[in-house]
Structure formats: structure tokens, C-alpha cells
Amino acid sequence: MSDLHRLAAHHADALLRFERENRAYFAGSVPDRGDAYFADFGARHSALLAEQDTGRCHFHVLTELDGAVLARFNLVDVADGGAELGYRVAERAAGRGVATDGVRRVLALARRAYGLSRVTAATTLDNAGSLAVLRRTGFTPAGEVSLDGRPGLRHVRELSADG
């Protein structure tokens, strides 16, 4: 059983553990965050919470009963009824439907709690898992993009009043 939570100060240690444990795994599909990210994690976490308080971003963690982070789901660049979705799932949870479930939950929050009507997301063409998650959760391709020099695809999901 997992719970989706809005990112809070008390998630810092578990989130740092999640990022450290999965650093090499994540680097296989997205650019590495770099050593400074980990060295300055406390300040970065505080800055994210301050940014979230402005309403420009909505950060979420999916946790197990013991508080361990399984995934994170972020809605960033909130403006004009839209936002960009990003997510990361722990290697130990990959292939178990965690990303699909989490994206569905965040999309419901995006509409119901944050009043958004459109969410976009992008992934590289070689990230088959992420492409499948976006398609399973109702996103449609909306154009090619370059993500850190790698070919990718931007997707969009219009959110209706009923989900």
C-alpha cells in the first residue's frame, strides 16, 4: 500500500535516501543531478517548499507505510491552467504499475485541487517505460523535442471536469 503526499519538510530525509539509492538507475534515462544536488539537499528541499508555497509548483511523494519514498511526481511551471509533469520511480518499484498509478493520482489532484485543465510531459524516445505510462494515462503525442541532446516526444493531457 502506498500513499501520495504533498511534499513537506518532514519528507527530506526519505527523499534524499530515495535519490541516493536510485541515482545510478535514474542516470540511465535522465541526466544525473550532480554531486552538488546531494551536498546541498537540505537547502534545495527548503527552496522547493518555498516555491510550492507560491503555487507555481506542486511536488508530491508516493510513500510506503514506513515512510520510504517509492516515487516522486512533480507539477512544475504552473501557469494559465497548465503545468508540466515530471516523475521518478524507484528501481525496486519499476514495472509494478507505480508510475501509472501515481500519474493518475496526480492528474486527479491537478484538476480537483489545483484547478488545472492541461498537463504536458516529455520523455526521450528510448524511455519505453515512460512513453507507455504517458499513453496509459491518456496523454497524446504533441510534437518532437530534444531533451539534453536526446530525441524526445512532448505529450499533452487535457483534463476534463470529471477527471
Please choose, from the candidates 74, 93, 75, 91, the residue with its C-alpha nearest in 3D space to the C-alpha of residue 83.
Answer: 75
pTM beyond cutoff 0.75: yes
pLDDT in tens, 109-143: 999 999 999 999 999 898 899 999 999 999 999 99
Compute how many other C-beta atoms are within 10 angstroms of the C-beta atom of residue 9. Answer: 8
Give the domain ranges of the chain.
2-158
Phi (first) and psi of residue 75, to 5 degrees: -110, 115
pLDDT in tens, 40-74: 999 999 999 999 999 999 999 999 999 999 999 99
- Cα separation, 51 vs 102, whole angstroms: 22
Note the CATH number of domain 2-158.
3.40.630.30
